[in-house]
Amino acid sequence: MKPLVPVSRARKIALGIAFFVVFVVAWSIATFGGFVSRTFLADPLTMLAEGWTLFAQYGFAKDVAVTVWRVLGGFVLAAAIGVPLGIAMGAYKPIEAFFEPFVSFARYLPASAFIPLLILWAGIGETQKLLVIFIGVFFQIVLMVAVIVGSTRRDLVEAAYTLGATASGIVRRVLLPSAAPQIAETLRMVLGWAWTYVIVAELIGASSGIGHMITDSQALLNTGQIIFGIIVIGVIGLISDFAFKWSNQRMFPWSLA
């Protein structure tokens, strides 16, 4: 192997799949071979069977739908407020000076630590779930968008000025389009974090959702269901990631090499 030499597409896919195979094989050996107690780790087949039971008998599809709804709800809410605020901060330095210190501080407030307070304020309904996700991703979005917009190439801004652009023209026709692909990429990343927060929110004080199913299964020591739940989250995350990547490539063909 030589450093940085690219691989062919077919080989890349084969290698990517190969690791999944290695992973499942190792898991099978550990469980079917009797190296790990069934109490602590279900084998792959049991996991699949439990997954089937979840969907067929326990209406797991509804839990999945509820969780997806919460993730999207919290994420869209945070993006709808965070992106414009981030753009304003990146473009206008006084606005940045006003918000930036607080946002930088708030970014480090752990969203999960807010759960007890949020339950107190908003109960254990949907509002609380959305708020956990909102707190978890909002400040990150604001800061990252502000940095992206603020780092727009100065020579492009200057070129626009010499072409007669006004201050608002600079924002609309230079800062926004220049930052758009990176903002979309940031949102893709942040959506992944939203998935982490929703499960945390659902582990405590929820009556539905994937996280709730996982806590229920824990009480029954059903590791097959827990693992199945985790894998479902992974698969949905992967799908949303692909969808985001695909739409970003469609929306910003100019940013591709």
Partner 1 sequence: MSKLVIENVTRTFPGVHGGAPTDALVPTSLTVADNDFITILGPSGCGKSTLLRIIAGLDVPTSGRVLLDGVPVTGPSVDRGMVFQSYTLFPWLTIRENVCFGLRERGMPPARQQEIARHWLDKVGLTGFERHYPKMLSGGMQQRTAIARALANDPKILLLDEPFGALDNQTRSLMQELLLSIWESDRKTVLFVTHDIEEAIFMASRVVVMSARPGRFKADVAVTIPHPREYTVKTTPEFSALKAQLTEQIRVEAIKVAAMPAQP
Amino acid (1-letter code) at residue 103: V
Q: Distance between CA atoms of 240 and 242, rounded to whole angstroms?
A: 5
CA 213, distance to chain mean position in Å, is 20
Of 151 and 158, the one with the shorter C-beta distance to partner 1 is: 158
DSSP output for 93-159: HHHHHHHHHHHHHHHTS-GGGGHHHHHHHHTTSHHHHHHHHHHHHHHHHHHHHHHHHHTS-HHHHHH
> Closest approach of Cβ 249 to partner 1, in Å?
14
> What is the rounded distance in angstroms from the CA atom of residue 179 to the CA atom of residue 146?
10
Shorter beta-carbon distance to partner 1: residue 109 or 251: 251
Which is closer to partner 1, CB of 2 or CB of 154?
Answer: 154
Q: Toward partner 1, which CB reaches closer, 38 or 153?
A: 153
For residues 126 and 157, the answer to whether their CB atoms sit within 8 Å is no
List of residues contacting partner 1 (CB under 8 A): 153, 155-156, 158-166, 169, 173-174, 177-178, 180, 252-255, 257
Q: Give the nearest distance from C-beta 150 to partner 1 in angstroms.
A: 18
Nearest approach, Cβ of 173 to partner 1 (angstroms)? 7
Q: For residue 49, what are the contacts with CB-CB under 8 A and spacing of at least 6?
A: 224
Query: Measured between alpha carbons, how far is 167 from 174 in angstroms, rounded to an integer?
Result: 10
Residue (136 or 181) nearer to partner 1, CB: 181
Q: From the CB of 181, what's the least distance to partner 1, in Å?
A: 8
Tell the smallest beta-carbon distance from residue 168 to partner 1 (Å).
10
Closest distance of CB 84 from partner 1, Å: 20
CB of 16 or CB of 164, closer to partner 1: 164
Measured CA to CA in angstroms, residue 240 lies from 5, 144, 184, 234, 236 at distances of: 29, 20, 13, 10, 6
